[in-house]
Amino acid sequence: MEGLEGDLRALMIASLDGDAAAYRVLLETIRWRLRLYFQRRLSQDPAEVDDLVQETLIAIHNRRGTYDRSQVFTAWIFAIARYKLVDHFRRSGRRRSVPLDDAASVQAQDESSGADAAHDLENLLSKLPAATQALIRDIKVRGSSHAEAADARGISETAAKVAVHRGLKRLSAHVRNGMDAK
């Protein structure tokens, strides 16, 4: 997913900068991903899939100026798709119900939660200095060792450990304070 995210994000940024060819490639790539997304959710109503794909592509086109270049692109796309799906269910007066025995399989198929988590992670990490963000991504997200991450950044392993520890402590405090405010 990380490679696809980077590719799509690069295409979106190029298209925002006026590259029409990048925009065509972006829309075509998004089109088939959205088709899969809606097919999984509308197995009882396959005729609606194409309409929802088109509605979502139009919404993405109309809102492309609101995309924040520092944010996760796939989370932005699938948030729009999710809103279009909810609107579809409201219009059709349907509520999706799943027997409790099948609930685990429905949750396991929802790839948008990963995109939401990535979006939330990026929002949290943006509160930290860039060097600390990079270390946390390398060590905690990508699974690099402290030594590998430190070598890549030209710092000591101890400095990397301290920076990650302090960064995680700051993020924990930020999350805790956000929860207290609610």
Separation of alpha carbons 133 and 142, rounded Å:
12
- HSE-up of 174 (CA within 13 Å, CB side)? 14
Q: What is the DSSP letter of 71?
A: S
- pLDDT in the model for residue 136: 87
Separation of alpha carbons 162 and 128, rounded Å:
14
Separation of alpha carbons 33 and 150, rounded Å:
37
Each residue's pLDDT tens digit, 86-102: 888 888 775 555 555 54
Distances (CA, A) of 164 to 119, 124, 141, 161: 20, 14, 12, 5
Q: Which pLDDT band, with edges at 50, 70 and 90, does 111 fall under?
A: low
- pLDDT in the model for residue 175: 78
Q: What is the DSSP letter of 176?
A: H
User: Max alpha carbon distance in the chain (Å)?
Assistant: 60
**3-class DSSP state for residue 58?**
helix
Q: Which two tokens stand for residue 56?
A: 């979502």
Q: Which CATH code, of 1.10.3480, 3.30.1460, 1.10.10, 1.10.3470, is assigned to 127-182? A: 1.10.10
- Same CATH topology for 1-95 and 127-182: the answer is no
Each residue's pLDDT tens digit, 26-78: 999 999 899 999 998 887 777 789 899 999 999 999 998 888 888 888 889 99
Q: Which CATH code, of 2.60.120.1310, 1.10.1740.10, 2.40.10.10, 1.10.1130.10, is assigned to 1-95? A: 1.10.1740.10
- Number of other residues whose CB lies within 10 A of the CB of residue 166: 12
pTM: 0.51
- Give me the residue spans of the domains in the chain: 1-95, 127-182
